[in-house]
Amino acid sequence: MIITDTHTHLYSEAFDEDRDTVIQNAIDHGIERFFIPSIDSSYTKSMLDLELHYPKNIFLMMGLHPTHVKENFKEELLHVENMLSKRPFYAIGEIGIDLYWDKTYLNEQLEAFKFQIHLAKKYGLPIVIHCRDSFDEIFEVLEEEKGEDLFGIFHCFTGTEEQAKRALGYNMKLGIGGVVTFKNGKIDTFLNKIDLNHIVLETDSPYLAPVPYRGKRNESVYLLQVLKKLSQIYDQDEKVIANITTQNSKEVFGI
């Protein structure tokens, strides 16, 4: 059984004291593949170092996170473009729109989102979408850009059943993590209506730790709690879910 964490910020400062231990602990428990989203240029070196130390386990994305779209966003997008021209990546991410923290740069976020979608199409890569308080805005962009060359993952999906089905209509898979274990998460009430072939697993560590670790630092090994919950929701053996979701991740990321 190989379990895949399709979204983890292992370069985060939260892991500076025990990063190797955290990674090895996850590997020891069958979580052998870690997909690493980009935030901005300040983390690029840390991401490359991770890949250097764990070449068989670490898979890098490149992109500009919507909460890091500021006055200098065009410089950051140039960095993304330059990195893509220099070496391979497995996705453009994480990208999207976040209106939870700050709405000041909505226009810039929209511009950055569209620009990076075009980069994904240019390089034949999936996009990994960050969506917070912004389903309407995200769907509007996806409606403009839809086509066979648009595909990817709705990272940390927390929407409704209707929004889930609409996301699938744009060739997106749903990234399911710790929120599925929350009492107020709500996605557990309809997730069994979504075919497992549209689901991938993620932690978003160090954020959004699942029950019973909620409120603590999240780690990839806690993906086992997400797997356990999905086993209950789908009434399927954990190994079956692990294998299906890992295969789904291979299809999305082209591995």
Cβ proximity of 5 and 35 under 8 Å: yes
The whole-number pLDDT of residue 184 equals 87
Say how many CA atoms lie within 13 Å of 129 toward its Cβ. 30
The whole-number pLDDT of residue 102 equals 85
Sign of CA dihedral 103, 107, 112, 114: positive
Mark out the alpha helices in the chain (DSSP H runs): 19-28, 44-53, 73-86, 106-123, 135-145, 161-168, 223-234, 238-253
Decide if pLDDT at 164 tops 90. yes
Kindly report, residue by residue over 116-163, the tens digit of the pLDDT: 999 999 999 999 999 999 999 999 999 999 999 999 999 999 999 999
Q: pTM for the whole thing? A: 0.97
Largest CA distance in the chain: 49
Decide if pLDDT at 1 tops 90. no
The whole-number pLDDT of residue 132 equals 95
The domain in which residue 201 lies consists of 3-253
- State how many domains the chain has: 1
Tell me the CATH number at 212.
3.20.20.140
Average pLDDT, rounded, for the chain: 97
Q: Among 4, 29, 14, which residue's Cα sits nearest to residue 205?
A: 14
